[in-house]
């Protein structure tokens, strides 16, 4: 009997309905960690949300059938299925059901489900692709043979073929069409049966009806040429129709699998086993899910980091491209942070684990990705709403066509009705939005923009105002060294200007002392020294007896025994702790400044300020050039906000803004009819992100901000938002093109079919070509540059 997580009990009927052993592994709590997240609802009840890759889906209507099958399992609280990405998200009560139960329910409904992890999902795709190729091969091979037997009847003059030879050719065609109908066309019949069993109508219903009616009528004509079905056979039309439709569906399948593979490559990076270093120095191989904070892990070259942490020993480079979009490897030395899912490229290192499981940045990205892949955006929902009534209209139109032609020419009534059924099947309509949205999602993931809600693509196209938080979004959330000022002996501001080598020398000398402190300004000074180019100026100071006084600064002795100080003006100048206002006011006048020099004599002052992100100016300029209004929000003083706004070229800004002030400003813009995007990273931005029409967060931001965001910039580059909007505009154009093509195709072909000018085989080619054109048009989003058509 499979063990349950601590505190949970097995439902009373579990023993009687123990699932097959092949699914029991899904009930292992450690295995569930790979595809399940745990939550607690408002009443304190623990719930689980699991992600699965679904196989056996052939049309958009399958998503509704799968949702119905899942909801019938006791303990399943909610189910969401995306036909475009072939994924299901299931929310379930662990006290009442386990994953093996609802996977078994899907199996009984005719669908396969595997946990949404790389290996089984990839295997499921390979099996589905292999089976689709076999069906396509059988249909193609038999179609060629049937066409060979049917050709003499089309080209031979009357009387050249004797009745017995004609009957023989018809029997041979029937024999070759049987595997096409029973095997190659199997997905259409199984999909139609599932739809009818659920009392719903899907796109497979008219297709299956057309195939079945044509085959049965042709078989009747073959067995009894003088009977009610007449003497005309359409085996060639059946084989051609099935082949071309399977060919179109295979290309659609390949496009979906390519998108799924791209998205999985962005998140499926963890190794299956890691080498944990024990306290006695020995090594043990464990699953990444067994790691806990504080563990030490040895990471070999080419292996992925299995958790968030810091490098303890060794130097290397990490490939974070699939997590952040950063194309170049990032250098990592002792003390540097490493991200779960990034690849170790340079050399073996020893790391200390700090965050594991759901707390890692990797798992956060996985959660956002899975949420996006099970999302059914408004464009897809609209297409589904249109397709349902349209299918009923198709069946009614085919019946009326058969009735009308039974009076006009009874011998043609059957194939006219079949042509109407086939040519009006709304496959292209159902693929118009999902194919484009999935292609755009895959492109954005590779560029470092992860969508949590697919409706964000549509929202990006409507935005005309962008609210941007200043600190941490437009600027780095850490202060940077702005300038180095030479001082007079007494610490005043009358010192002469320092040339660059002198500035570098002072920065390096002070950084040698600052490295002993974790104070933000000390760390900013260390970063500034590390960024200096090698100009031949070296720091030769060797500090001893280093001491730090909280809130004041650092002191140490140099090689000659002199005491140097780094810190506030009062500390460096050795002013009494109780000295009133003079020293304090002078320090305040300097703002974020740190003085450095021998005790009692300040030699230089290091001034710190906010620094803009490297691409902030260009991103703001690009947004404004696109006609968008940019508004900067900040809780800082007006003079500091104005300085940053002037540097960025932003005319509209709001200073001293509390969270409620930011929310009020956004609400006022929306009330004025504007579509507003909010870009932020802090906890105080979460309410505004939730209210905005489009919300964008930086991946380094607070968890609550990322949870409220529609999109996350994995590389923390604002320029990615500009590129995402350009791609969203192209996606909207392609979706409109797809809808227009689907409507135009039906408007042109339905009259031809009703008039009897479109035989069933031509209708099959037209429907398959229509679906293929929609998919190929969507693939332009993957192959071409955003902003160009």
The residues that are catalytic are 469
Whether 322 and 265 have beta carbons less than 8 Å apart is answered as yes
410-423 and 235-267 are packed helices; what angle lies between their axes, rounded to 10 degrees? 10
Name the pairing type of β-strands 676-680 and 465-469: parallel
The CA distances from residue 684 to 94, 698, 704, in Å, are: 34, 14, 9
DSSP 175-239: HHHHHIIIIITHHHHHHHHHHHHTT---THHHHHHHHHHHHHHHHHHHH-TTSTT-S---HHHHH
Give the residues across from 694 on adjacent strands: 677
Q: How is residue 549 written in tokens?
A: 């006084």
Residue bearing tokens 């029991």: 24
What is the three-class DSSP state of 116? coil
Whether 312 and 352 have beta carbons less than 8 Å apart is answered as yes
The DSSP secondary-structure symbol of 499 reads: P
CA dihedral over 771, 772, 777, 779, signed as positive or negative: positive
Whether 421 and 731 have beta carbons less than 8 Å apart is answered as no
Q: Using CA atoms, how far apart are residues 404 and 413, in angstroms rounded to an integer?
A: 8
Whether 346 and 362 have beta carbons less than 8 Å apart is answered as no
Whether 92 and 75 have beta carbons less than 8 Å apart is answered as yes
Residue bearing tokens 């009692």: 600
Q: Using CA atoms, how far apart are residues 447 and 61, in angstroms rounded to an integer?
A: 32
Q: What's the first-to-final CA gap in the chain, in angstroms? A: 59
Whether 654 and 662 have beta carbons less than 8 Å apart is answered as yes
Q: Using CA atoms, how far apart are residues 484 and 746, in angstroms rounded to an integer?
A: 72
Give the up-direction half-sphere exposure of residue 365: CA atoms within 13 A in the CB hemisphere: 32
Name the pairing type of β-strands 652-654 and 629-633: parallel
DSSP 529-566: HHTS---S-------EEEEEETTTEEEEE-TTS-EEEE
Whether 302 and 279 have beta carbons less than 8 Å apart is answered as no
Give the alpha-carbon dihedral of 263, 264, 265, 271, to 10 degrees: 160
Whether 331 and 311 have beta carbons less than 8 Å apart is answered as no
Query: Whose CA is closest to 110, among 197, 16, 22?
Result: 197
Whether 526 and 539 have beta carbons less than 8 Å apart is answered as no
The CA distances from residue 415 to 215, 402, 567, 754, in Å, are: 11, 8, 91, 10
Residue bearing tokens 């050709």: 151
Name the pairing type of β-strands 46-55 and 36-40: antiparallel
Q: Using CA atoms, how far apart are residues 402 and 413, in angstroms rounded to an integer?
A: 5
The DSSP secondary-structure symbol of 304 reads: B
- Non-local CB neighbours of 101 within 8 Å, separated by 6+ positions: 17, 19, 73, 75
The DSSP secondary-structure symbol of 600 reads: T
Q: How is residue 733 written in tokens?
A: 């154009």
What is the three-class DSSP state of 117? coil
Q: Using CA atoms, how far apart are residues 209 and 215, in angstroms rounded to an integer?
A: 10
The CA distances from residue 140 to 144, 306, 764, in Å, are: 6, 47, 14
């Amino acid at each position: 009997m499979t063990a349950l997580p601590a505190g949970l009990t097995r439902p009373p009927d579990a023993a009687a309905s123990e699932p097959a052993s092949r699914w029991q592994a899904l009930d292992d709590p450690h295995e569930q960690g790979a595809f399940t997240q745990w939550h607690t609802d408002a009443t304190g009840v623990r719930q689980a949300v699991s992600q699965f890759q679904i196989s056996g889906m052939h049309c958009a209507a399958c998503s509704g059938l799968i949702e119905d099958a899942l909801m019938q399992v006791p303990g399943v609280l909610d189910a969401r299925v995306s036909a475009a990405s072939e994924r299901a998200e299931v929310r379930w009560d662990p006290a009442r059901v386990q994953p093996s139960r609802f996977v078994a329910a899907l199996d009984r409904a005719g669908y396969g489900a595997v946990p949404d992890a790389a290996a089984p999902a990839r295997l499921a795709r390979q099996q589905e692709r292999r089976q689709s190729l076999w069906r396509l091969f059988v249909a193609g091979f038999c179609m060629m043979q049937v066409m060979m037997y049917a050709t003499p009847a089309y080209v031979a003059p009357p009387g050249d073929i004797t009745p017995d030879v004609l009957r023989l050719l018809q029997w041979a065609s029937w024999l070759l069409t049987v595997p096409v109908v029973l095997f190659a066309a199997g997905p259409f019949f199984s999909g139609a049966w599932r739809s009818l069993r659920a009392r719903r109508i899907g796109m497979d219903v008219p297709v299956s009806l057309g195939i079945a009616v044509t085959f049965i009528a042709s078989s009747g004509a073959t067995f009894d040429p003088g009977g009610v079905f007449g003497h005309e056979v359409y085996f060639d039309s059946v084989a051609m129709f099935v082949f071309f439709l399977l060919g179109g569906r295979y290309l659609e399948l390949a496009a979906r699998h390519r998108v799924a593979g791209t998205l999985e490559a962005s998140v499926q990076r963890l190794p299956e086993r890691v080498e944990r270093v024990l306290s006695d120095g020995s090594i043990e191989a464990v699953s990444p899910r067994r790691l806990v904070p504080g563990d030490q892990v040895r990471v070999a070259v080419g292996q992925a980091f299995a958790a968030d942490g810091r490098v303890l020993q060794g130097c290397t480079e990490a490939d974070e491209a699939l997590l952040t979009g950063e194309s170049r490897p990032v250098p990592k030395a002792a003390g540097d942070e490493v991200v779960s899912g990034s690849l170790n490229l340079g050399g073996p290192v020893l790391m200390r684990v700090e965050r594991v499981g759901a707390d890692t940045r990797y798992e956060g990205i996985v959660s956002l990705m899975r949420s996006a892949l099970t999302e059914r955006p408004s464009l897809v929902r609209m297409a589904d709403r249109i397709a349902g009534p349209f299918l009923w209209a198709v069946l009614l139109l085919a019946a009326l066509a058969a009735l009308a032609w039974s009076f006009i020419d009874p011998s043609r009534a059957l194939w006219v009705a079949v042509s109407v059924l086939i040519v009006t099947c709304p496959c292209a309509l159902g693929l118009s939005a999902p194919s484009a949205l999935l292609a755009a999602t895959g492109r954005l993931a590779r560029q470092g923009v992860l969508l949590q809600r697919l409706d964000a693509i549509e929202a990006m196209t409507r935005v005309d105002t962008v609210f941007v938080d200043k600190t941490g979004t437009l600027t780095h959330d850490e202060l940077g060294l702005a300038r180095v000022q030479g001082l007079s002996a007494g610490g005043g501001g009358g010192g002469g200007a320092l040339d660059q080598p002198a500035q570098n020398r002072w920065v390096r000398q002070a950084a040698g002392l600052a490295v002993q402190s974790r104070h933000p300004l000390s760390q900013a000074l260390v970063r500034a020294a590390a960024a200096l180019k090698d100009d031949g100026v070296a720091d030769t100071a060797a500090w001893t007896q280093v001491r730090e006084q909280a809130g004041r600064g650092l002191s140490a002795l140099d090689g000659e025994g002199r005491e140097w100080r780094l810190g506030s003006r009062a500390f460096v100048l050795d002013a009494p702790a109780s000295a009133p206002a003079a020293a304090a006011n002078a320090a305040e006048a300097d703002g974020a400044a740190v003085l450095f020099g021998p005790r009692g004599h300040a030699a230089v002052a290091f001034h710190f300020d906010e620094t803009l992100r490297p691409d902030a100016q260009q991103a703001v300029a690009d947004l404004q050039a696109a006609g968008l209004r940019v508004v900067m929000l900040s809780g800082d003083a007006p003079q500091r906000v104005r300085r940053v706004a002037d540097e960025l070229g932003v005319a509209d800004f709001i200073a001293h803004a509390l969270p409620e002030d930011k929310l009020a400003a956004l609400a006022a813009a929306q009330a004025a009819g504007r579509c507003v995007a909010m870009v932020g990273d802090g906890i105080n931005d979460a309410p505004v992100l939730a209210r905005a029409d489009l919300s964008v967060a930086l991946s380094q931001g607070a968890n609550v901000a990322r949870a409220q965001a529609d999109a996350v910039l994995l590389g923390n580059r604002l320029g990615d938002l500009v590129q995402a909007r350009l791609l969203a505009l192209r996606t909207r154009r392609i979706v409109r093109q797809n809808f227009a093509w689907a409507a135009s195709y039906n408007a042109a072909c339905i009259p031809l079919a009703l008039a009897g000018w479109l035989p069933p085989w031509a209708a099959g080619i037209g429907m398959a070509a229509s679906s293929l054109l929609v998919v190929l048009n969507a693939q332009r989003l993957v192959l071409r540059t955003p902003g160009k058509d």
